């Protein structure tokens, strides 16, 4: 009798726990901003004096999320032993209106990295921070100081996994703007569906006169095309299972479960064609035989007025 009673109590406890979880999940899906209001955000990544910010800029329903792609190539692991954030994109996401903007920062952008003397390429912040969690923290701090925005969240992937991710969704339709037949790429100009291998070649290639700047544009194009393909596959459960397996173990983030659920809820209603894309403006700058991208701060500030 006691055993039956114990089982009954355990069953009731499980039902209550599941009910609470289901209610919270339902609330997050229907009110995504609560996932960020009710959770303690990571400490401000920047040294920006928030007291000096225009209070009208503050919006509790808007978050800034960094998408960081790591160059974990086998060759780099063997020769250097550290990685850089070769893809840096900042998403401005309004959780209420579901308006999304994307600002790309070229990897060679000449910036000041906190706690280091002088200036360097922005993608050097990750290894300077010691990689891992501390590397991401220094990257966010560097980005936040550069833009004057508190970028508190990040999602990061190993760029080597792009081929698996693309194959998981059945390929990505993209208009390849020029022939690419050097440095490991073999792509013809024109509209086509890229498989995983070709997609990786497309987002990595940077061997035209504009180098990394045109690569940034291609990466933006790829991200938007990927989002479109995800929506096209929304009823294909097997596609999402393959995608989960492709991401598993190779995606890094400081978002908690509810926040991830909230962002999925927001992004499923976002039309990729409505996402405005920007790139940090500037010019090539050579110092000690090292090429940098020197940002035009006046033009960038104009972009930030729209981006925020």
pLDDT digits 0-9 by tens, 168-187 = 889 999 999 999 999 989 99
CA dist list (Å): 211 to 141, 160, 203, 217, 288? 26, 20, 12, 11, 19
pLDDT at residue 160, rounded to an integer: 83
Contact between 85 and 76 (Cβ < 8 Å): no
pLDDT averaged over every residue in the chain: 83
Share of the chain above pLDDT 90, in %: 55
Q: Report d(CA 44, CA 90) in Å as an integer.
A: 16
Q: Which residues contact 3 (CB under 8 A, 6 or more apart)?
A: none
Q: What mean pLDDT comes out for the span 82-91?
A: 90
Q: What are phi and psi of 273, to 5 degrees?
A: -70, -15
- Residue 158: strand pairing partners: 70
Measured N-to-C along each axis, helices 196-204 and 212-232 cross at an angle, to the nearest 10 degrees, of 150
CATH number attached to the domain at 34-40+59-307: 3.40.630.190
15 has pLDDT over 90: no
Decide: helix, strand or coil at residue 124.
helix
| Confidence at residue 56, expressed as pLDDT on a 0 to 100 scale | 41
pTM of the predicted model as reported, rounded to 2 decimal places? 0.84
What mean pLDDT do residues 84-94 have? Answer: 94
CB contact set of 103 (below 8 Å; sequence gap of 6+): 89, 90, 92, 147, 277, 278, 279, 280, 303, 304, 307
CB 246 within 8 A of CB 165: yes
Query: Would you state the pLDDT for residue 78?
Result: 64
Strand partners, 287: 290
- Cα–Cα distance, 205 to 222 (Å, whole number): 13
The stretch 48-54 carries a mean pLDDT of 43
Q: Say what the pLDDT of residue 41 is.
A: 60
* pLDDT confidence of residue 36: 79
Cα→Cα distances 46→158, 201, 279, 308, Å: 25, 34, 21, 16
55-59, 108-112, 147-151: least confidently modelled range: 55-59
64-87 burial code (b ≥16 CB/10 A, e <16): bbbbbbbbbbeeeeeeeeebbbbb
């Amino acid at each position: 009798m006691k055993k039956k009673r114990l089982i009954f109590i355990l069953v009731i406890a499980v039902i209550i726990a599941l009910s609470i979880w289901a209610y919270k999940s339902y609330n997050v899906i229907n009110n995504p901003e609560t996932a960020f209001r009710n959770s303690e955000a990571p400490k401000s990544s920047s040294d920006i004096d928030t007291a000096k910010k225009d209070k009208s800029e503050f919006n509790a329903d808007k978050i800034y999320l960094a998408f960081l792609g790591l160059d974990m190539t086998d060759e780099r692991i063997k020769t250097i032993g550290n990685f850089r954030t070769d893809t840096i994109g900042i998403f401005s996401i309004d959780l209420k209106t579901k308006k999304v903007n994307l600002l790309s920062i070229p990897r060679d952008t000449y910036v000041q990295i906190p706690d280091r003397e002088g200036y360097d390429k922005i993608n050097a912040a990750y290894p300077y921070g010691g990689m891992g969690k501390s590397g991401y923290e220094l990257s966010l701090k560097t980005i936040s100081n550069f833009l004057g925005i508190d970028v508190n969240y990040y999602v990061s992937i190993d760029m080597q996994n792009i081929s698996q991710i693309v194959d998981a969704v059945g390929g990505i339709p993209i208009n390849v703007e020029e022939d690419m037949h050097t440095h490991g790429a073999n792509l013809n100009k024109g509209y086509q569906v890229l498989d995983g291998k070709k997609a990786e070649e497309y987002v990595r290639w940077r061997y035209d006169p504009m180098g990394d700047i045109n690569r940034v544009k291609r990466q933006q194009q790829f991200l938007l095309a990927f989002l479109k393909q995800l929506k096209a596959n929304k009823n294909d459960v097997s596609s999402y299972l393959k995608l989960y397996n492709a991401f598993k173990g190779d995606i890094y983030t400081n978002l908690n479960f509810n926040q991830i659920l909230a962002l999925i809820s927001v992004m499923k209603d976002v039309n990729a064609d409505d996402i405005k894309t920007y790139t940090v403006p500037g010019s090539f700058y050579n110092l000690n035989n090292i090429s940098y991208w020197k940002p035009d701060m006046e033009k960038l500030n104009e972009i930030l007025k729209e981006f925020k």
